[in-house]
A and B are shown apart, each in its own frame.
Chain A
C-alpha cells in the first residue's frame, strides 16, 4: 500500500512515518512526503498513492484545497485529515470535499493506527 504524508512540520512527517513503520499494519510503502499542498498534489500525480495523511494548515495551498484536487484526480482516494483545527465546521468541510476520516492533533500512536485502519477497511 502506497502512502503519501503531507504536513508542513518535518517533525510530524517523520513521526507519522516512524509510527507506521513500527506498527503491525499491512506493508505500507511511503512514496512521498510533502510540506505544502502544492507539493502534495504534484507527488500525488506522480505516485497515485493508496492512502494520504493530510494536514490542513499549510503554506501555498491548504489541506482542504489539496484534498479537493486529489479527489478530482482520483475520486476514490483514501485521505485522512490530521489537523489541530478542532471545530466541527472544518471537519465537515474536509469530509464534504472527499476526505475519508479526520484525526485531531495531538494524537498518539494508537489513535493514528486506528484512524488509518478505519480508512483502509
Chain B
C-alpha cells in the first residue's frame, strides 16, 4: 500500500490503518474472501470525492467532526446481498446495504478512536446526489478497495476538534 500521510496533521497513519483493517475484516467476514487495498492516498478537495453509484455516509461528531464514506457500484452490492442470501436487490436495498457497510466501518473504527467519536445513523446517496460531493478537509483520505472484480472507495474526511 502506498500511502502519503505527510499532510495529515491531525489523523495519523496508524489511524488510517484502522479503516484499512475494518474494510478488510468486513469482506473477509461476510464473503470469506479478502478485499485488496489497491491504493491509499490524499485527494485534493478542489475536485469531487472519488465516489461510485451508491454512497453511504456516516456523520462524525463528539471529539471529531466530519464524515466517513463507503462508496461502490450496484454490482458489488448485489453480489454481497446474494452472498447474504438476500433476494431483494432493488435500489432501496442497495442503498440500505451501502449505508450498513459505512456504518460498520465507522463503528469498528471506534475500537481505536473510542466512544467520543460519535457516529450518526447512515445517510445514503445515489450517483446523482453524490456526484459533486466535497470533503471537509483540504485533503480527505481515500482508500481504494477491490473485491473480486469490483471497486469501492472508503473516504475518511474527519478532523479532531482542537
Does residue B110 face the partner (Cβ distance < 8 Å to A)? yes
| A108 & B29 in contact (Cβ 8 Å cutoff) | yes
- Known A-B contacts A57-B119, A85-B107; the reply to A106 vs B86 at CB < 8 A is no
Does residue A12 face the partner (Cβ distance < 8 Å to B)? yes
Interface size on B, residues (CB 8 A): 30
Does residue B61 face the partner (Cβ distance < 8 Å to A)? no
User: How would residues 62 to 98 of chain B score, 1 for a CB under 8 Å from any chain A CB and 0 otherwise?
Assistant: 0000000000000000000100111010000100110
User: How would residues 75 to 109 of chain A score, 1 for a CB under 8 Å from any chain B CB and 0 otherwise?
Assistant: 00000000111110110000000000000111110
Residues of A within 8 A of B103 (CB): 9, 57, 84, 105
| B107 & A10 in contact (Cβ 8 Å cutoff) | no
How many A-B residue pairs have C-beta atoms within 8 angstroms? Tell me: 70
| A57 & B121 in contact (Cβ 8 Å cutoff) | yes
| A11 & B97 in contact (Cβ 8 Å cutoff) | yes
Rounded to whole angstroms, the CA-CA distance of A86 and B96 in the bound complex is 21
Does residue A14 face the partner (Cβ distance < 8 Å to B)? yes
| B93 & A106 in contact (Cβ 8 Å cutoff) | no
**A14 interface neighbour in B86, B107, B115, Cβ under 8 Å:** B86
List the B residue with the shortest CB-CB distance to A22. B85
**Which parts of B12-40 form the interface with A (CB within 8 Å)?**
25-26, 29-30
| A58 & B121 in contact (Cβ 8 Å cutoff) | yes
| B110 & A90 in contact (Cβ 8 Å cutoff) | yes
Residues of B within 8 A of A74 (CB): none
Q: How far is the CB of A114 from chain B (nearest CB, A)?
A: 14
Does residue A15 face the partner (Cβ distance < 8 Å to B)? yes
Q: How far is the CB of A18 from chain B (nearest CB, A)?
A: 6
Give 10 closest A-B pairs by Cβ, nearest first. Answer: A84-B107, A86-B111, A87-B110, A106-B29, A84-B104, A89-B115, A9-B100, A85-B107, A87-B115, A86-B108
Question: What residues of chain A have their CB less than 8 Å away from a CB belonging to chain B?
Answer: 8-12, 14-15, 18, 57-59, 83-87, 89-90, 104-108
